[in-house]
Chain A
Amino acid sequence: MTSPAPAPRDATASGGAPASAPVRAPIGEFVFAGVCAALGVYAIVGAGFIRVPPGSASVLGPRVFPYAVGLLLVAASVAVIVQVARGHRGVPDDGEDIDPDAPTDWLTVAKLVACFLTQLLLIEWAGWPFAVMVLFGGAAWSLGAKRWWAALLIGLGLGLTTQLVFGAWLGLSLPAGPLLDWIPIFHG
Chain B
Amino acid sequence: MDSLNALLEGFATALQPQYLLYALFGVFIGTAVGVLPGIGPAMTVALLLPLTYSLDPTGALIVFAGIYYGGMYGGSTTSILLNTPGESSSIVTALEGNRMAKAGRGAAALATAAIGSFVAGTAATLALTFLAPGIAKLAVQLGPADYFALIVVAFLTVGALLGSSVPRGLVSLGLGLLLGLVGTEVLSGQQRYTFGIASLADGIDVVLIAVGLFALGETLYVASRLRHGAVRVIPVTRGWRNWMTRRDWRRSWRPWLRGTAIGFPIGTIPAGGADVATFLSYATERKLARGNARAEFGRGAIEGVAGPEAANNAAAAGVLVPLLTLGLPTTATAAIIISAFQSYGIRPGPMLFENQSGLVWALIASLYIGNVMLLVLNLPLVGMWVKVLRIPRPYLYAGILAFAGLGAYALHFNVFDTLILLAIGLVGFLMRRYGYPVAPMVVGGILGPMAEEQLRKAMAISQGDLSYLVHSPFAIIAYSTLAVIIVLGVWLKRRQARLEATAPEPITASLPAWEEADR
Contact = CB atoms under 8 A, between A and B. Distances in A.
A10 B506 CA distance: 20
Interface string A168-185: 001111110000000000
B245 interface: no
Interface in B188-220: 188-193, 216, 218-220
A119 B408 CA distance: 11
Contacts, number: 308
B188 A92 contact: no
Contact of B165 (A66, A83, A123, A155): A83
A31 to B, nearest CB: 9
Given A83-B165, A104-B225, A158 B399 contact: yes
Nearest to B389: A96
A51 interface: yes
A144 B231 CA distance: 14
B164 A60 contact: no
Q: Chain B contact residues (Cβ within 8 angstroms of A): what range?
A: 35 or more
Contacts of B506: 3
B151 to A, nearest CB: 12
Contacts of B394: 139-145, 151
Nearest to B500: A9
B190 A50 contact: yes
B430 to A, nearest CB: 5
A163 B193 CA distance: 35
A38 B179 CA distance: 15
Contacts of B264: none
A112 B435 contact: no
A73 B226 contact: no
A113 B426 contact: yes
B171 A80 contact: yes
Interface hub of B189, B224, B225, B415 (most chain A Cβ within 10 A): B225
A124 B82 CA distance: 40
B86 interface: yes
B175 interface: yes
B174 A119 contact: no
B165 A16 contact: yes
Interface in A132-149: 132, 135-145
A65 B444 CA distance: 13
B508 interface: yes
Contact of B164 (A11, A99, A144, A159): A11
Contact of B85 (A3, A46, A61, A93): A3
B467 interface: no
A181 to B, nearest CB: 16
A50 to B, nearest CB: 5
Contact of A16 (B79, B185, B227, B435): B435
Interface hub of A33, A36, A123 (most chain B Cβ within 10 A): A36
Interface of chain B: mostly helix, strand, loop or mixed: helix
Interface in B120-171: 164-168, 170-171
Interface in A80-133: 80, 83, 88-100, 102-106, 108-109, 112-113, 115-117, 119-120, 123-124, 128, 131-132
B47 to A, nearest CB: 12
B171 A69 contact: no
B405 A83 contact: no
B82 A96 contact: yes
A58 B426 contact: no
Contact of A95 (B87, B171, B433, B435): B87
Contacts of B402: 132, 135-136, 139, 155, 158-159, 162
A76 B455 CA distance: 22
A154 interface: yes
Contacts of B508: 1-3
B221 A1 contact: no
Interface in B316-370: none
Interface in B400-454: 401-402, 405-406, 409-410, 413, 415, 418-419, 422, 425-426, 429-436, 448, 451-452
Given A8-B501, A73-B178, A109-B224, 15 more contacts: A3-B86, A9-B501, A33-B434, A39-B178, A40-B174, A53-B188, A57-B460, A72-B170, A79-B170, A96-B82, A116-B401, A132-B402, A143-B226, A143-B393, A175-B413
16 contacts: A36-B171, A62-B185, A69-B174, A90-B164, A90-B436, A98-B222, A113-B220, A123-B418, A128-B409, A132-B402, A135-B401, A142-B223, A162-B406, A166-B406, A172-B50, A173-B413
Interface of B: 37-38, 50-51, 53-55, 78-79, 82, 84-87, 89-90, 164-168, 170-171, 173-175, 177-178, 181, 185, 187-193, 216, 218-228, 392-395, 397-399, 401-402, 405-406, 409-410, 413, 415, 418-419, 422, 425-426, 429-436, 448, 451-452, 455-456, 459-460, 463-464, 489-490, 493-494, 497, 500-501, 505-506, 508-509, 515
Interface of A: 1-4, 6, 8-17, 28-29, 32-33, 36, 39-40, 43, 46-47, 50-53, 56-62, 65-66, 69-70, 72-73, 75-77, 79-80, 83, 88-100, 102-106, 108-109, 112-113, 115-117, 119-120, 123-124, 128, 131-132, 135-145, 151, 154-155, 158-159, 162, 166, 170-175
Considering the complex of A and B, which 8 residue pairs feature the smallest CB-CB distances, nearest first? A90-B435, A3-B85, A73-B174, A79-B167, A76-B170, A143-B394, A96-B37, A139-B398
